[in-house]
Amino acid sequence: MKRFFVFLSAILTIILTTPAAAKTFHFIMPNDGEAGLTIHAAAPGTDWGKTGQEALILTLKVDGVYNQDVTLFLGATPHDYKVLLGPLKAGKHRIDYENNQMYSSSTFGSFDASFKVDLVTDPALVHAPFLYLRPDTVHRFSDLPIISWYEWLDMPEGRTLQFSVIFTNEDGGTDTQALMARWGRTLDIEYYYRWRADGSQTFQAVNHKETPFHGQKIGEHPLIYDASDNNNFADTGDSPLRVALWPVPFDLSQHSREEVADQNPWAYKLMNDELVREDKISKLGNTLDYLYVEAKIQSATAAASFNVGDAKSDRGEPRMRINRDGWVRSTIRLDKKEVPSIEFRCHAPATPKAESFCVIEEISKVFFLDKDFRPQKSLLQWRGPAIRLKPGEGYTFTIPK
């Protein structure tokens, strides 16, 4: 009998440690060009907010060569995960995909997935980065890149194609409370690569330094590495996982960068789940209790905040005030979701300046998140005329009933 149990144990060990066979998806490229992949997938039993159950990761190989790893971060909720595969020749190809048992939190978890490959016709996407995850986030399921977009910018260096990325959080840099006060979210948003028609290329290096890119490429796709705990980058590095998010064009002329998250509202659920899992929520409080404000302001020579009654976005701390120009986001934690009015307030700068002032030009939206962490209908929209304030002054906007 003892021999039988030893034999049975050996069989079970072999079964449990043998990787599941990869599955294959075949497709045809009608022409030479860039390939984009949509994976419609769900991973029952995983949950971004629970330690040890965070997500299943799919490893993709194209024609037998490693391409990337796609994290199924929305768990059991079916979702379209969109990535770029890079340049491929016309003709038949295959994608081999399997659960990455080394890095998935649910090693032997199941998943449902269907695949669709498209020939990408947007010329800007030829330059979209492949991004390597920061090594110290692997296994911890932290600071995951989830959304990418691009813009064409008129800069002193010339017409510039800029790619940006949204992460679920940032482990370093600005602390959680200040992120909500000064940026209106705990998601991290960074630009990571710029390309210009003259061939010059730069990326956002550590300490937010714009740096010429000299790294490797797949076709014209730069290989970028997440290199710091506040998600700045490098053009060399070492990481076991990479992903090539499929960027979408986005016009931010009338909004802050957080509008990209508003258009992908599931991002706020991931934001909250990671705060809960990392126990940052205990200091911050429920993100559903916050009022979110988007406005176009000038405060680079001073500092600004938003108030609802005695509730203040800066919590009375100068370090949590906004001191920049343009479209901004902020949040105010409220005990009750009652907002009769909202005040824009100007403060003196941390360092005295020859002239200090604030201007509020527009308010585009003021909203709460609903129970599913999706932005609700805006309580206020105001389009001017602009109001200029001195430090110590404020202007109150009445919320329409």
* Contacts of residue 382, Cβ cutoff 8 Å, sequence gap at least 6: 362, 363, 397
Model pLDDT, residue 108: 61
Say how many CA atoms lie within 13 Å of 90 toward its Cβ: 3
Residue 140 exposed, middle or buried by CB count within 10 Å (0-12, 13-18, 19+): middle
**Alpha carbon distances (Å) from 47 to 242, 275, 334:** 21, 13, 28
Q: State yes or no: pLDDT of 177 exceeds 90.
A: yes
- pLDDT tens, position by position, 219-272: 999 999 999 999 999 999 999 999 999 999 999 999 999 999 999 999 999 999
Model pLDDT, residue 17: 37
Domain ranges of the chain: 19-121, 125-249, 286-398
- pLDDT tens, position by position, 5-39: 333 333 333 333 345 678 999 999 999 999 999 99
Which run of H or of E encompasses 13?
helix 2-17
Mean pLDDT value across residues 102-110: 80
Model pLDDT, residue 12: 32
Mean pLDDT value across residues 179-192: 98
- pLDDT tens, position by position, 283-313: 899 999 999 999 999 999 999 999 999 999 9
Q: Using a pLDDT cut of 70, give the percent of the chain over it.
A: 94
pTM above 0.95, yes or no: no
CATH fold, domain 286-398, is Lipoxygenase-1 (2.60.60)
- pLDDT tens, position by position, 313-335: 999 999 999 999 999 999 999 99
CATH fold, domain 19-121, is Jelly Rolls (2.60.120)
